[in-house]
């Protein structure tokens, strides 16, 4: 494909969906309705950790408009598989809670009714008998002996091929510390954050005449949702048909396959369309959030500002269940050392369970917390060494051809070029030697 | 049980008569900005509701020393009236434009903490509040309205008819401090109304919102200010007293520690507005 | 009462795509009888502009007008597989798949035009306006509508193509962490200017100025949209929002937009950016992913600017006014 | 339960409906009358995506019982471009990329319409005051502010019959 002048790539052509948006004609999932449609409302745990002794629907059944309820007994395979499909296991989250609840908001039973109001009233009338268990909320407390255990396999951490964490070992970090003139350490902590898209997560499952189920969903990943839902429902894949693609903001919050399986099950059981859309309060408190991350840095730095060793221990707060956090920790481990050439790197990145709403994917997926910690750490190094924060970064920036700590050769590097351009943009004069530096042999388009 | 009956009285008499009769125990709905969110979430499921918007309580009357405001006058009307500037500033502290077009003066009395910014202004202006029921009318001072957290001195069958706000002689200032510039709950909101005689404070009304179970008068701070001029030292001391006499709480917006820290700071800025 | 100004910077990279279980996306293209090209996908548009960007790439490769190219997504019955929209992967993966599909369709299109114009396909070019013409003698040409009609009703040929792009699955070595998790790296450097009110602890962000290097801008306006949205999201993460205001405790949890604190129109900093293009080795037209990284550099840039302003490092976000007051008080106690 | 006929004007057309008391205007529009441009973002009155104009004033329809709009003029986004071509506000939002996912767009456009009807030449602070009740997560607000400024320019231009 010769590099001829481009006709339309590189042009700011107007958005294809722009007209629909500004006229209100774009159809979002929540805008869809079908005759005989039922509304699903979830009965959720009000406590962070408890045994479920009893779930009593007798009062709920009397609410006018109540149709039926679903519990874990109704779910053919009551276990989430979102990671087994991409080679990561075990899966340990229940579609509907069985004997225990592990976070405030965990779904226990689904109530179906003729109207949204009836479904809400019925769900509120379901009597839960819960026996509270001790709960743990801090990632490091959760790993201490004697901490309440969340998982059947007896620990509060995800096992990475036999290890209690994802590991990166590159060079000899202790040797690096010996060479260093300064040791620079600090602790960085981020907070759980809600995706808060304008449109809340939701879907409508509609039984079709030929026995298939069409699921209108604002998921970010249609086939991923189809495959997982089919496994949970134990139906052949061709039974499900996912339709979507217009999402009112995702930010990673609509990849958990949470509303589709139970809605499809409800549609199959009632042979009626079923709508399940999160309230804003559910989106805020019960849906997955960006997990919180705690990162401990220990760097060895020479007098002339070269980082010769970087040792990092990370604790990702997965909340009560895996969702996507085990993979976020792997991606974190591949990026937490930063866009810098460091000969000796040692990383232990833990995926830890606590009695909180599950952490999952959010924009930046494990790298956002890493960048926060990294770039505050670089400023601390500059202060300790007595160097300008720009210069310390230019000096250590990786170049094309370098080997990253996870043993991948650096390619397409331009850290130096963006720093040069940013300095120019804000009128920050850089010394000539820094302005002359290059990341590699990349050429501007 | 979902709603069974919605009453829409066309006058105050009809409203009070209904409330003494078949509409007894109804949820009173004015602007809806407080009740409807709870109804939408299924937290509140009233069987009987009485809507006040057509009952003739939306008026603003200039009665010599008083500005008389009907209970269903909206906060947008308060924002745009120019008779008492503090009422306009306090109205603009509540929600966004659309919310202020719906929320009412009477409704703000029922806003759970940290709500109630507008009511704090009424408190600092020595306003009176008039209730009406089938038995007739009853007027008390706004400072006697609240009796505790989410409880007040209204009798069954009564609704708020109007508030009567004396035109302030002295200088007033209102400061709302939240995490955002607008459309946000208060960390602390302060209304000050000071009378002066030869550079000395002759009358002081200080109302604090979001740092107690309801908007409260900082009476000890008021006493302290009497007879003093607003020097930096006096303002600083007043701030300490105010921080001592309020009872801040922790919520998602701010901790008790931080709210108590902000009382002297925001009171200082409010009094400085009055000073210069 | 003091208002302390501070400036901070941060430089980051961000990987494009993922590959835990392999990272594939497919695309199918077919021409209607009247020269409209339908690109069938199962990919989703979250607002980042996939439906626009993919139509641009398709039109560019086919050499037909942008308006001739229609996007038909996302339906698992009609669209081929796509992993989904995340990891800043969509433009890179789906773009590459569309290029492959469009090249196959273009080849057939040129073959039919060659038959119609009785000339070798190698001597033909597209003018991007809907005509296939002979190189060097542009007056000898055929319009895409006539061509499509001919292909369908005269030559019985389908102008269509299939495309697939996959980052092969590569496992992670449990001992050393050796892995090949992404396809290329985008980069960004952000400079933040802030002011801290030492009485209330409030932070005002005056400006967020960034340089981005993202290989190729397919649609510069959509790129700027991601940079602006990400800058405000980054400011929200570092100063305002949390589902657990008293983390790790689970009390006082916000329930909605009124008590989940987010900056609004009044809190906007001045956002300015420049975009560099160093085409990546394997991206469509050198594209690198951008969507997920745009909140990343503003967060530490603002945090570093706060350190510059108050002389104290706060390494726990969100950096609320309360945390700043407590840090200033601690600094006071330490110094006397 | 005594159910009344609710009569009001919707986008210039006279409408009679009979709905359960306390049905919100949002639910009436979206579920009874199939006008789905007015969105549902929170049902708490705190995101603005359900903003409509009632007698020219912006209100959050999720908190507005139908009894409060009897005899009133309701304007929704569907009514903004009545004869098919776009209103200058819609054009400006479209051309200045003041839109990404589109879910907040209806509310943003309606509150902008109310602002410009009240104040044909708003300064930036007045625009910020009008928009502060509307939540957007994608754009970072600035393109929306610029689209409102551009809309004012175009309306004033059109107003002068240029």
Please state the CATH superfamily assignment of the domain spanning residues D5-77 in this structure.
Beta-grasp domain (3.10.20.30)
Domain limits, chain D: 5-77, 88-159
Q: Which CATH architecture has domain C3-16+184-335?
A: 2-Layer Sandwich (3.30)
Domain limits, chain C: 3-16+184-335, 23-167
Q: Sort out which chain B residues have CB atoms less than 8 A from A117's CB and list them.
A: 2, 42
User: How many other C-beta atoms lie within 10 A of the C-beta of residue D112?
Assistant: 29
What mean pLDDT comes out for the span C191-203? 98
- Say if residue B62 is exposed, middle or buried (CB neighbours under 10 Å; 0-12, 13-18, 19+): exposed
Which DSSP helix (H) or strand (E) runs through D159? helix D142-159
* DSSP bridge pairs for A40: A112
Q: Cα torsion at A155, A159, A162, A165 (round to 10°)?
A: -100
User: What phi, psi does C216 have (nearest 5°)?
Assistant: -155, 130
The strand pair at A307-319 and A345-353 is best described as parallel
Q: pLDDT value at position A2?
A: 46
Residue from D80, D82, D102 to probe the interface with A (highest A Cβ count within 10 Å): D102
What mean pLDDT comes out for the span C202-211? 98
Mean pLDDT of chain A: 96
Pair C309, C6: CB distance under 8 Å: yes
Of B183, B253, B265, the CB nearest to C259: B253
- Say if residue B60 is exposed, middle or buried (CB neighbours under 10 Å; 0-12, 13-18, 19+): middle
Residue A250: which of A286, A285, A292, A199 has the closest Cα? Answer: A199
Q: C23-167 in CATH: which number?
A: 3.30.365.10
- Residue A273 has which token pair? 């369309």
Determine, for residues D99 and A24 on separate chains, whether the beta-carbon distance falls below 8 Å: no
Q: How far is C168 from chain D (nearest CA, A)?
A: 31
Q: pLDDT value at position A90?
A: 84
Alpha carbon separation from C301 to A299, A318, C296, D150 (Å, rounded): 20, 26, 9, 32
Beta strand segments in A13-97, E: 38-44, 50-56, 66-70
pLDDT per position as a tens digit, A382-433: 999 999 999 999 999 999 999 999 999 999 999 999 999 999 999 999 999 9
What mean pLDDT comes out for the span C139-166? 97
With a cut of 50, say whether residue A145 has pLDDT above it. Answer: yes
What class has domain B171-275?
Answer: alpha beta
Band of the pLDDT at D162, cuts 50, 70, 90?
very low
- Residue B52 has which token pair? 């006040």
Q: pLDDT value at position D82?
A: 67
How many Å apart are CA A387 and CA C174, to the nearest integer?
37
How many Å apart are CA D143 and CA C135, to the nearest integer?
43
How many Å apart are CA C277 and CA A394, to the nearest integer?
20
- Residue B260 has which token pair? 């108590």
Q: What own/partner pairs with CB < 8 Å and gap ≥ 24 does D9-12 have?
A: D9/D72, D9/D73, D9/D74, D10/D35, D10/D74, D10/D76, D10/D79, D11/D74, D11/D75, D11/D76, D11/D78, D11/D79, D11/D82, D12/D79, D12/D82
Tell whether D98 is within 8 A of chain C (Cβ): no
Rg of the Cα trace of chain A? 26
Considering the four listed CATH numbers 3.30.420.40, 1.10.10.10, 3.30.465.10, 2.40.50.140, the one that applies to the domain covering B60-166 is 3.30.465.10
With a cut of 80, say whether residue D2 has pLDDT above it. Answer: no
Q: Provide the chain A residues 215-244 that lie in CB contact (below 8 A) with chain C.
A: 219-224, 226, 240-244
Determine, for residues B181 and C264 on separate chains, whether the beta-carbon distance falls below 8 Å: yes
- Range from A390-394, C168-172, C218-222, C224-228 carrying the lowest mean pLDDT: C168-172
Which DSSP helix (H) or strand (E) runs through D13? strand D13-18
- Residue of chain B nearest C326, judged by CA positions: B258
Q: pLDDT value at position A71?
A: 98
pLDDT per position as a tens digit, C267-282: 999 999 999 999 999 9
Sequential DSSP letters for B11-74: SHHHHHHHHHTTTTTPEEESS-TTHHHHHHTTS---SEEEE-TTSS---EEEETTEEEEETT-B
pTM: 0.97
What mean pLDDT comes out for the span A157-167? 95
Tell whether C315 is within 8 A of chain A (Cβ): yes
Q: pLDDT value at position A445?
A: 80
Determine, for residues C264 and B179 on separate chains, whether the beta-carbon distance falls below 8 Å: no
Q: Sort out which chain D residues have CB atoms less than 8 A from B97's CB and list them.
A: 58, 111, 114, 129-130, 132-133
Band of the pLDDT at C10, cuts 50, 70, 90?
very high
In A, what residues contact D, Cβ < 8 A? 12, 14-15, 17-28, 30-31, 33, 195-200, 247-249, 251, 279-280
Residue from B98, B103, B104, B253 to probe the interface with D (highest D Cβ count within 10 Å): B98
Is C23-167 the same fold as C3-16+184-335? yes
Cis omega (within 30 of 0) for bond into C74: yes
Considering the four listed CATH numbers 3.40.50.1580, 3.40.50.12370, 2.40.30.10, 3.30.43.10, the one that applies to the domain covering B5-51 is 3.30.43.10
- Range from A61-70, A367-376, B153-162, D79-88 carrying the lowest mean pLDDT: D79-88
How many Å apart are CA A357 and CA A274, to the nearest integer?
25
Pair B95, B117: CB distance under 8 Å: no
How many Å apart are CA A136 and CA A142, to the nearest integer?
6
What mean pLDDT comes out for the span B109-113? 97
Q: D88-159 in CATH: which number?
A: 1.10.150.120
What mean pLDDT comes out for the span A71-75? 98
Pair B105, B69: CB distance under 8 Å: yes
Chains that touch B (3 or more CB pairs under 8 A): A, C, D
Q: pLDDT value at position A84?
A: 76
3-state SS, residue B189:
strand
Domains of chain A, each with CATH number or no CATH: 29-133+201-278 (3.90.1170.50), 166-192+288-385 (3.30.365.10)
Residue C276: which of A429, A413, A403 has the closest Cα? Answer: A413
Segments in A206-245 forming alpha helices (H): 222-233
Q: Crossing angle, helix C220-239 and helix D142-159, to 10 degrees?
A: 130
Determine the distance from the C-alpha atom of residue C162 to the mean position of all C-alpha atoms in its chain, rounded to a whole number. 23
Sequential DSSP letters for C103-153: HHHHHHHHHHHHHHHTS-GGGEEE-SSSEEEETTEEEEEEEHHHHHHHHHH
Pair A126, A60: CB distance under 8 Å: yes
Predicted-complex ipTM score: 0.97
Q: How far is D97 from chain B (nearest CA, A)?
A: 24
Segments in C157-272 forming alpha helices (H): 220-239
Q: Sort out which chain C residues have CB atoms less than 8 A from B114's CB and list them.
A: none
Tell whether B253 is within 8 A of chain D (Cβ): no
How many Å apart are CA C188 and CA C210, to the nearest integer?
7
Sequence length of chain C is 336
How many Å apart are CA A55 and CA A61, to the nearest integer?
13
Pair A335, C15: CB distance under 8 Å: yes
With a cut of 60, say whether residue A1 has pLDDT above it. Answer: no
| Residue listed under structure tokens 């693609």 | A245
Chains that touch C (3 or more CB pairs under 8 A): A, B, D
Pair C169, A382: CB distance under 8 Å: no
Q: How far is D48 from chain A (nearest CA, A)?
A: 10
With a cut of 90, say whether residue C287 has pLDDT above it. Answer: yes
- DSSP tally for chain C: helices H, then strands E: 6, 11
With a cut of 60, say whether residue A91 has pLDDT above it. Answer: yes
Q: How far is A133 from chain D (nearest CA, A)?
A: 33
3-state SS, residue B142:
helix
Domain limits, chain B: 5-51, 60-166, 171-275
Cis omega (within 30 of 0) for bond into A194: no
B44 Cβ contact partners less than 8 Å away, ≥ 6 residues apart? B27, B35, B38
Residue A418: which of A409, A430, A408 has the closest Cα? Answer: A430
How many Å apart are CA C157 and CA C179, to the nearest integer?
45
What mean pLDDT comes out for the span C228-241? 98
pLDDT per position as a tens digit, A264-307: 999 999 999 999 999 999 999 999 999 999 999 999 999 999 99
3-state SS, residue A31:
helix
D36 Cβ contact partners less than 8 Å away, ≥ 6 residues apart? A24, A27, A28, A31, D29, D30
User: What phi, psi does B66 have (nearest 5°)?
Assistant: -120, 150
Pair B107, B132: CB distance under 8 Å: no
Which DSSP helix (H) or strand (E) runs through A417? helix A415-426
Q: pLDDT value at position A441?
A: 78
3-state SS, residue B173:
strand
D23 Cβ contact partners less than 8 Å away, ≥ 6 residues apart? D32, D65, D66
Q: Sort out which chain C residues have CB atoms less than 8 A from B182's CB and list them.
A: 264, 266
Exposure letters C282-294 (e unless 16+ CB within 10 A, then b): bbbbbbbbbbbbb
């Amino acid at each position: 494909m010769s590099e001829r002048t481009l006709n339309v790539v590189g042009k700011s052509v107007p958005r294809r969906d722009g007209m629909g948006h500004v006229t209100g004609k774009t159809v979002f999932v929540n805008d869809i309705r079908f005759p005989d449609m039922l509304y699903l409302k979830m009965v959720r745990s009000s406590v962070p950790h408890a045994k479920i002794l009893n779930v009593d629907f007798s009062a709920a059944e009397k609410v006018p408009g109540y149709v039926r309820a679903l519990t874990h007994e109704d779910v053919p395979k009551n276990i989430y598989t979102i990671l087994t499909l991409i080679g990561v296991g075990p899966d340990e989250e229940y579609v509907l809670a069985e004997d225990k609840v592990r976070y405030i908001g965990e779904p226990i039973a689904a109530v179906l009714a003729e109207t949204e109001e009836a479904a809400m009233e019925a769900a509120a009338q379901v009597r839960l008998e819960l026996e509270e268990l001790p709960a743990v909320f801090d990632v490091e407390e959760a790993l201490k002996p004697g901490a309440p255990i969340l998982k059947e396999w007896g620990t509060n951490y995800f096992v990475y091929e036999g290890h209690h964490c994802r590991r990166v070992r590159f060079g000899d970090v202790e040797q690096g510390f010996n060479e260093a003139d300064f040791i620079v350490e600090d602790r960085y902590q981020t907070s759980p954050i809600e995706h808060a898209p304008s449109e809340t997560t939701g879907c409508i499952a509609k039984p079709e005449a030929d026995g298939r189920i069409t699921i209108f969903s604002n998921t970010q990943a249609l086939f991923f949702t189809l495959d997982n839902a089919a496994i949970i429902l134990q139906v052949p894949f061709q039974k499900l048909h996912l339709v979507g693609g217009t999402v009112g903001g995702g930010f990673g919050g609509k990849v958990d396959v949470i509303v589709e399986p139970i809605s499809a099950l409800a549609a199959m059981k009632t042979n009626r369309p079923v709508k399940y859309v999160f309230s804003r309060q559910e989106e805020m408190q019960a849906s997955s959030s960006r997990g919180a991350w705690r990162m401990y840095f220990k760097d060895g730095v020479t007098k002339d500002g070269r980082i010769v060793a970087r040792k990092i221990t990370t604790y990702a707060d997965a909340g009560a269940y895996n969702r996507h956090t085990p993979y976020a920790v792997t991606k974190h481990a591949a990026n937490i050392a930063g866009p810098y050439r460091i000969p000796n790197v040692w990383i232990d990145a833990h995926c830890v369970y606590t009695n909180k709403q599950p952490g999952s994917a959010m924009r930046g997926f494990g790298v956002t917390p890493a960048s926060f910690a990294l770039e505050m750490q670089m400023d601390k190094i500059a202060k300790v060494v007595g160097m300008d924060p720009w210069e310390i970064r230019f000096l250590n920036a990786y170049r094309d051809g370098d080997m990253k700590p996870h043993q991948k050769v650096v390619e397409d590097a331009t850290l130096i070029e963006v720093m040069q351009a940013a300095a120019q943009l804000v009128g920050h004069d850089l010394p000539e030697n820094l302005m002359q530096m290059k990341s590699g042999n990349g050429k501007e388009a | 049980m979902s709603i069974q009956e919605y009453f829409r009285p066309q006058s105050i008499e009809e409203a009070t008569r209904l409330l003494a009769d078949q509409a007894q125990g109804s949820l009173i709905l004015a602007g809806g900005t407080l009740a409807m969110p709870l109804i939408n979430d299924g937290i509140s499921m009233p069987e009987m509701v009485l809507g006040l918007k057509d009952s003739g309580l939306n008026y603003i009357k200039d009665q010599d020393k008083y500005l008389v405001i009907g209970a269903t006058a909206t906060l947008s009307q308060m924002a745009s009236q120019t008779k008492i500037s503090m009422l306009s500033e306090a109205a603009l502290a509540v929600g966004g434009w659309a919310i202020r077009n719906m929320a009412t003066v009477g409704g703000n009395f029922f806003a759970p903490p940290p709500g109630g910014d507008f009511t704090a202004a009424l408190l600092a202006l020595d306003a009176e509040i008039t209730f009406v029921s089938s038995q007739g009318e009853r007027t008390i001072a706004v400072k006697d309205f609240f009796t505790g957290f989410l409880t007040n001195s209204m009798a069954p069958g009564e609704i708020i008819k109007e508030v009567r706000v004396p035109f302030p002689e002295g200088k007033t200032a209102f400061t709302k401090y939240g995490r955002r510039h607008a459309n946000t709950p208060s960390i602390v909101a302060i209304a000050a109304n000071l009378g002066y005689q030869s550079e000395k404070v002759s009358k002081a009304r200080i109302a604090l919102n979001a740092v107690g179970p309801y908007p409260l008068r900082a009476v000890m701070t008021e006493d302290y200010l009497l007879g003093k001029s607003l020097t930096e030292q006096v303002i600083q001391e007043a701030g300490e007293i105010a921080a001592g006499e309020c009872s801040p709480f922790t919520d998602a917006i701010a901790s008790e520690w931080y709210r108590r820290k902000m009382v002297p700071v925001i009171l200082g800025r409010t009094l400085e507005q009055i000073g210069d | 009462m003091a208002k302390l100004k501070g400036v901070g910077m941060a430089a980051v990279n961000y990987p494009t795509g993922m590959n835990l279980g392999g990272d594939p996306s497919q695309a199918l293209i077919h021409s209607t009888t009247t020269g409209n090209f339908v690109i069938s996908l199962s990919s989703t548009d979250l607002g980042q502009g996939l439906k626009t960007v993919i139509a641009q790439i398709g039109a560019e490769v086919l050499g037909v007008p942008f308006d001739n190219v229609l996007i038909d997504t996302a339906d698992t019955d009609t669209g081929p597989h796509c992993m989904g929209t995340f990891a800043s992967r969509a433009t890179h993966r789906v773009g590459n798949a569309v290029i492959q599909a469009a090249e196959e369709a273009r080849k057939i299109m040129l073959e039919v035009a060659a038959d119609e114009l009785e000339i070798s396909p190698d001597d033909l070019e597209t003018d991007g306006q809907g005509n296939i013409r002979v190189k060097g003698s542009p007056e000898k040409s055929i319009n895409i509508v006539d061509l499509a009609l001919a292909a369908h009703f005269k030559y019985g040929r389908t102008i269509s193509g299939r495309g697939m792009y996959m980052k092969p699955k590569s496992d992670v070595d449990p001992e050393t962490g050796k892995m090949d998790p992404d396809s290329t790296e985008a980069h960004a450097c952000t400079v933040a200017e802030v002011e801290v009110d030492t009485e209330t602890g409030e932070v005002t962000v005056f400006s967020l100025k960034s340089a981005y290097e993202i290989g190729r801008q397919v649609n510069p306006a959509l790129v700027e949209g991601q940079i602006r949205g990400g800058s405000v999201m980054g400011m929200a993460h570092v100063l305002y929002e949390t589902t657990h205001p008293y983390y790790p405790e689970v009390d006082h949890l916000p329930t909605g937009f009124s008590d989940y604190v987010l900056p609004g129109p009044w809190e906007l900093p001045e956002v300015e950016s420049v975009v560099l293009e160093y085409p990546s080795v394997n991206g469509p037209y050198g594209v690198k992913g951008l969507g997920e990284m745009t909140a990343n550099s503003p967060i530490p840039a603002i945090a570093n600017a706060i350190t510059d302003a108050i002389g104290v490092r706060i390494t726990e976000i969100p950096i609320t006014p309360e945390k700043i007051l407590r840090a200033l008080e601690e600094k006071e106690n330490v110094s006397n | 339960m005594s159910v009344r006929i609710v009569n009001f004007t919707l986008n210039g057309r006279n409408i009679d409906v009979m709905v359960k008391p306390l049905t919100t205007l949002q639910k009436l529009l979206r579920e009874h009358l199939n006008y789905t441009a007015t969105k549902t973002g929170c049902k708490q009155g705190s995101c603005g995506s359900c903003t409509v104009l009632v007698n020219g004033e912006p209100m959050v329809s999720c908190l507005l019982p139908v009894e409060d709009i009897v005899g009133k003029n309701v304007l929704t986004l569907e009514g903004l471009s009545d004869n098919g071509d776009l209103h200058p506000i819609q054009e400006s939002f479209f051309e200045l990329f003041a839109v990404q996912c589109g879910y907040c767009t209806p509310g943003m456009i309606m509150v902008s319409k109310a602002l410009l009807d009240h104040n044909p030449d708003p300064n930036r602070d007045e625009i910020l005051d009008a928009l502060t009740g509307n939540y957007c997560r994608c754009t970072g607000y600035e393109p929306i502010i610029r689209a409102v400024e551009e809309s004012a320019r175009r309306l004033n231009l059109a107003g002068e019959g240029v």
